[in-house]
Amino acid sequence: MLKVCGILLVLAGCSGLGGYAVLRYATRIRILGELEQALQFLYGEIEYSGCDIIELSDKLVLRSRYFEGLWRNMHDRLQEYDGQGFYYHWKKELKEVMGMECLKEEDRELLLAIGENIGNTDRQTQLHTLHIFQERLHGIFLQAKQEYREKAKVSMVVWITAGLFLALVLV
């Protein structure tokens, strides 16, 4: 009876690890999708309303889930102006974004590059830069969706197979 309970626990644990791996892939897609929407919103607001980054960060708080804290903290930091630039605070606050561990290194580099280039130049240059980042992000987003389709099932099967193998070893 004890062996059966142990086997069931091993199978449940390995299935849980497989589910966690799949969840990380899905979280990456959701984060990239939210960032893509934020860039589209920034582009539209800069192009048509001419809002500054402080107003935009306040508006983005309401539209975000993963980046809500980032936009709120950026709004607060920019309003209190401590002499540091936008990028300094962006880099600091980006570390606190929920789900950052699910992103790949290229995703993090893109996020840093976005912060480095937002709010530093004239309106036309910002729009051009945002357009470039939107294209890059869209490519990464499509790649992430493709990886999810390829790796989600494989991850689950590998972890369940590992659980079965461990269960056989325990018997």
Handedness of CA 57, 90, 138, 63 (dihedral sign): negative
Is 8 part of a structural domain of the chain? no
Question: Does residue 78 form part of some domain?
Answer: yes
pLDDT, tens digit, for every residue of 118-133? 866 778 888 898 899 9
Residues 68-85 have pLDDT tens digits of: 888 888 888 888 877 777
> Quick check: 171 pLDDT over 80?
no
Domain that holds residue 40: 14-170
pLDDT at residue number 140: 94
Q: What's the CA gap between 23 and 21, in Å, rounded?
A: 5
Residue 6 included in any domain:
no
Any domain includes 93 = yes
**Total domains, the chain:** 1
Top pLDDT among 49 and 43 is at 43
Does residue 82 lie in a domain region?
yes
Task: Write down the pTM of the prediction.
Answer: 0.85
Task: Flag whether 121 is in a domain.
Answer: yes
Q: What is the mean pLDDT of residues 40-57?
A: 84
